[in-house]
Chain A
Amino acid sequence: MSLTVRDLTVAFDGTVAVDRVDLEVPAGSVTAVLGPSGSGKSTLLRAVAGLESPASGTIRYGDEDLARVPTHRRGFALMFQDGQLFPHQSVARNIGYPLRLRRLPSARIADRIAELLDLVGLAGFGDRTPATLSGGERQRVALARSLAVEPRMLLLDEPLSALDRGLRERLATDLHDILRRAGTTTLLVTHDHEEAFAIADRMAVMRAGRIVQSGDLAEVWAHPTDAWAARFLGYAGVLSGEQAAVLRAVIDPSGSWTEVALRRSALVVDPDGPLSGVVLAARVSPEQTRLEVDVDGLGTIAAVADPARPAAVGERVRLAVRTDRLATLPETQPSEFRHLSLE
């Protein structure tokens, strides 16, 4: 069954943290709410968990209104950034905790713990205490604990933020696979678009307490709703006005858009390219050379080059535009801008 949030507002002492939010988490999906810190995304998650009381609006699971259902009866397992394992219990006891709450026979509990440890790749870790685990291992245990009772829904609060980069990437892939295998409906909040892309298949972008955009991952990615959303989703730059017009003349003369978001790899060094500019900075990485180029008519903008064909600083280069690496933005409402500037 799916989770439906309608017109939800949560306020603390008159400060509105979640502002008339609508959100749909379809059954079986992994939905990420992406937003910067202070956007209200954690509050939204906590309201869904039943840890915050809404000022107005409804949260439904299927047909069931959750307003009067306390946290422990919702069947939504919440997993925190730092796991929040019980430090005085072993790994196995932590995972078995929700099972013991349901008074399952101990043999079944033991089986289930082994199964879950297997699922998260920690077979044989049952007797360890949380203090002896690494950050990533702790998160896996927390995940296993959350999945133990097959929750109706899994709520993840920045599940990977506390981990270092390499671990984060590995665990993100694992998490993606584990969630698909378990088939659990999941709501995830994060400020990291890479984390969202790695784990989720649906996404909502949240800003200043409001959901500004939502939909399938690819769809949101392909059509950021405005310049702010584009930057937050990981686009390297946004062109508007004169500059947008220069680019439009090159790639889409018949188009009428006035604003465009470019990914880092949207401009690529190509001797036959239509644009020209002077290289301001270059940084070599194994797969590509990242450049900063002062492009005629467009200003300073990111570009890439094949490491086999390095571009030296000060050199004038020609650039091609890869249209699959940019997104045109819809006409922005002036009022929306005013709203933004208030942030």
Chain B
Amino acid sequence: MARPDHALTARRLGTAALAAVPLAVLGAFFLYPVGGMIQRGFWPDGAFDPGGVLDVLTRDRVHRVLWFTVWTAGLSTILAVVLGVPTAFVLHRLRFPGQRLLRTLIVVPFVLPTVVVGVAFRQLIATSGPLGGLGLDGTPAAIVAALVFFNVSVVVRTVGAFWEGIDRRTEEAAATLGASPARVFLTVTLPALAPAVASAASVVFLFCSTSFGIVLTLGGLRYANVETEIYLLTTQELDLTSAAALSVLQIVVVTGLLVALHRARRTAPPLARAGESGRSPRLRDLPLVGWTVVVVALLMTPLLSLLVSSLRTDGGWSLANYRALQGTGADNALLDTATHALQRSFEVAVQAAGLALVLGTIVAFLVSRRPRSAGVRRLSATFDGVFMLPLGVSAVTLGFGFLITLNRPPLDLRTSSLLVPIAQAMVALPLVVRTVAPVLSSIDPRQREAAASLGAGPARVLLAVDLPHAWRALAAAAGFAFAVSLGEFGATSFLARDDTPTMPVVIYQLISHPGSANFGMATAAAVVLAAATGAVMLVVERLRVGSVGAF
């Protein structure tokens, strides 16, 4: 006696239509371009030739590159976890004045452009630099250090947000049963944290193994990972078959990591409201607080060294480098003033953040529903995972893919000024989803059902239930996306750009021209950019959304 259920069908159609919007954008501006590049590699002369691709994977050099990628990413991940977990405890489980500032400082490296970090690091560890005595320059150790610098915040934020949500009473119960603090940590806290640590570690490994700017700048050329190898193969040698082979390999590995990440996240407890569970530090927390101080100091050192060099001109202290930002640099190193570039950066970042927020919110909304049917749940997980892919796919492949695919109407956008914000939005999209989705999932679905049964239509339900819960997360995600876009360099640098560059590009141009005035101006521009992203993140931090920068 089954009859078609119209209400159900209509709802499914509505969901499908909603899902189609971000999927279409992702398809057009990510899957299609990347697919286009890979297709060129597999069909070198219009004929399918998978042999060439397989051949690439047997080369000695490729094996070396893979091994280097795996061990640097692995080691960086371990170090980031070791540095990050105690810091997460101090910054998220304790309460003390100045904590919010520390939390903000921790995130700044994550949103800085790699070009800035690369130069800051080189200055620091070059034999003549403050840390030159360590002999790190040009060694894999420098690469690992920089990767850790970028990714500690991911561990701190992910584990910290999770830690806040763990009920302290379980630990207290163990203590009353006679467990020492160390034993409580090992037997109660650590097992509870394991999913968050696993989740953070997968993401850090993902970021490290696909890192581009850092490995290129700090590795000199003696060291190459998969990402820089794809870059060299594509931009220098036009060896698209090899590049496609590595891209496919990268996508396979990234997909595997995303599956692992999904598994780890499945056991996550409901998200706690940030900052409600802290206690004051006690004497026995001292080693951990000390540890945190060391971590923050390590993260700040490259930034401080950058700040110092921006304030020095010809051996004295001055603001000349900052005043120079209103001009076009010594010998007209720039086509336009740096202040205009900053303005342009803001415009692009607003567009990118807007797009990422709209798409990311739709994705977060859909993946935060809790469908009963296992099939729909799997579909939803896949949907979620697809939007994480941009985190782990080569920016070179994407940038070149744009050029060869977006060349006919209605997608004739290869040289459109919208392309840079779109590309940056693709990069920021996963971060928006990961910020908003946990907050939306933490809303009891019965709240929505209660509102509906009181007569609220779907739109009113969003307004009455989802929005009051999620507006902070939405604002925080928008700010986070804005900061990330402000510092985005990788994807932007591979696109065709018009004559008004963004700030990271300007910094790159400045350090590419000889003359100490231009270099000083570059450091000043880098400090301005870091300060701008830092200020945005400070505002974001004030919104107290635990999921920002967490995975």
Contacts and interface: CB of A to CB of B under 8 A. Distances in A.
Instruction: Say if A and B assemble together.
Output: yes
Interface of A: 7, 12-13, 46, 49-51, 53-57, 67-80, 84, 86, 88-89, 97-98, 101-102, 142, 145-146, 148-149, 155
Given A68-B7, A70-B7, A77 B375 contact: no
A186 B375 CA distance: 35
A53 B7 CA distance: 8
Interface string B304-329: 00000000000000000000000000
A240 B356 CA distance: 70
B447 A84 contact: yes
B372 interface: yes
B3 interface: yes
B454 A57 contact: no
Chain B contact surface mostly: helix
B449 interface: yes
A23 to B, nearest CB: 17
Interface centre among B446, B447, B456, B460 (most CB of A within 10 A): B446
Contacts of B453: 49-51, 71-72, 74, 76-78, 146, 155
A146 B454 contact: yes
A67 B6 contact: yes
A67 B454 contact: no
Contact of A13 (B375, B457, B458): B375
Nearest to B444: A84
Contact of A86 (B3, B455, B465): B465
Given A67-B7, A86-B447, A145 B452 contact: no
Nearest to A146: B454
Contacts of B374: 13
Interface residues of B, number: 30
Nearest to B449: A51
A74 B457 CA distance: 11
A89 B467 CA distance: 13
A51 B447 contact: no
B1 A67 contact: no
A12 B452 CA distance: 22
A49 B7 CA distance: 13
B531 interface: no
A145 B453 CA distance: 11
Contacts of A76: 453
Contacts of B446: 80, 84
B450 A78 contact: yes
B268 interface: no
Nearest to B460: A101
A55 B3 CA distance: 8
A13 B449 contact: no
Contacts of B444: 84
B464 A86 contact: yes
A73 B458 CA distance: 11
A54 B4 CA distance: 10
A51 B452 contact: yes
Contacts of B1: 7, 56-57
B287 interface: no
B5 interface: yes
Given A13-B374, A86-B464, A101-B460, A56 B2 contact: yes
A323 B137 CA distance: 96
B309 to A, nearest CB: 48
A37 B2 CA distance: 27
A78 B455 CA distance: 10
Contacts of A78: 449-450, 453
Given A56-B2, A84-B446, A86-B447, A97 B454 contact: yes
Contact of A98 (B5, B8, B455, B468): B455
B367 to A, nearest CB: 19
Nearest to A81: B446
Closest 4 CB pairs of A and B: A78-B453, A53-B8, A98-B454, A71-B452
B373 interface: yes
Given A13-B373, A80-B446, A86-B468, A149 B454 contact: yes
A71 B468 CA distance: 21
